[in-house]
Structure 1
Amino acid sequence: MERHFTVSGFVSQRGETALHWHRLGMWLPPGGHIEPDEDPIEAVRREVLEETGLAVEVVPTAPAYGDWAYPPQLPAPVTMGVYDIEAGGPHQRASHQHIDLVYFTRPTPGQPLLLPDNDEEGWLWVSAETLQAGEVLRSPHGGEAAIAEDVRRLGIDAIEAVRALETGAA
């Protein structure tokens, strides 16, 4: 089976995380394919910027392994999920899998925290309370669905990781 490496970046701030209504009919964080000659950190920062307009930094969730100077280490993803992508539609000509490296991120200081307002994708800042409640969310253009369990739990953990970093509890 064909497999693609992808990244997802949970962007969290002020007790909320950014999700959008994806064309597949579900709520997802920003993310996408890792491009050739791009490392996962570059990919997640690029994808978040392209999709939300926000410049972000990755929030480390585990210490670096070892203290050597070379080779440099990249922050480890929070988790890696394997998602089956079914054939159909212009973007899924054949069934394949996405091996998704998930990162927690936060906006870099000094920028407006505005999400895109467009007709194609409905972006929302979703609170930890809403994620915990498992509410059905409606997109600005009418789509609605409950947030998938993995997205809910990762969103809650991303909010907590950013909060801990900002309060010095990390």
Structure 2
Amino acid sequence: MERTDAPEPLVRHFTATGFLAHDGYTALHWHRLGKWLPPGGHLDPNEDPLQAALREIREETGVAARVIETATPYVRGDRARVQPPVSIGIYRVPADSHAPAAHEHIDFIYFVRPAEPGPRPPLPAGDPPWLWVSEAELRAQAPLASGDREAPLPDDVRALGLAAIEWERHDRARSGTSAPEAAAMGAA
């Protein structure tokens, strides 16, 4: 006899997110869930999480990005390495085009910066809106607005956005390129 009171098995999807940071700003967009979120999405078949994050950033923003190495991966022998994420979040998501019922996203979160030096690259115009959000705006803890889209930032988006900006600043210092120098190199 089949049990009818057993809960439905929980469906989980692997996703990847990239906090795209540059010169004191991070890129966020208005998501259909009514929140400001960084670029990201589902892993494609045969794709590792970092490949997915970089692909999603390019698809959603048009910006080619590179990872900011925040940790040294453990390498054993001749095995290929995958840059570890900054964090892994588990988020409950309502039914969508990927699943007919509520499900969870296991999200690999990376900090990235534009692959090419220069000024902040333009973000897509139109709907949904994209914004370069400043460090000051993230620290202000006020709702973020663009047109008729307004919502407080989720706490994890605010904290990770600030951390991505700080790591991008550190990565620039490590590479010996300040934001103005990078802009000048891009203009040369």
TM value normalised by structure 2 = 0.83
- Give the aligned CA root-mean-square deviation in angstroms: 1.9
- TM-score normalised by length of structure 1: 0.91
Q: Write the distance in 2 (CA, Å) between the matches of 1:44 and 1:153.
A: 19
Q: Relative to structure 1, is the Cα distance of residues 145 and 160 closer, same or farther in structure 2, using a 3 angstrom cutoff?
A: same
Is the contact made by 1:20 and 1:121 (CA closer than 8 Å) also made in structure 2?
yes
Larger C-alpha radius of gyration, 1 or 2? 2
Q: Aligned-pair distance for 1:40?
A: 1.0
Q: Give 3-state SS (helix, strand or coil) of 1:166's partner.
A: helix
Identity value in percent: 46
Q: Which AA in structure 2 matches 1:116? A: P
The reply to whether residue 131 of structure 1 matches residue 138 of structure 2 is yes
Query: How many residues were matched structurally?
Result: 166
Which residue is 1:80 aligned to? Answer: 88
Contact 1:85 1:92 in 2 (8 A): no
> Are the counterparts in 2 of residues 11 and 105 from structure 1 also a CA contact under 8 Å?
yes
Give the C-alpha shift of residue 86 in structure 1: 2.0
Q: Displacement, 1:16? A: 0.3
Match of 1:46 in 2: 55
Unpaired segments ≥5 residues, structure 1:
none
Which letter does structure 1 place at the counterpart of 2:151? A
Residue 52 of structure 2 is aligned to residue 60 of structure 1: no
Cα distance between partner residues in 2 of 1:86 and 1:35: 20
1:168 is paired with a residue of what secondary structure?
helix
**TM-superposed deviation, 1:64:** 2.1
Task: Mark the CA change 1:91 to 1:39 in structure 2 (over 3 Å): closer, same or farther.
Answer: closer
Runs of 4+ in 1 over 6 A off after TM superposition: none
1:163 has 2:172 as partner = no
1:18 is displaced (CA, Å) by 0.2
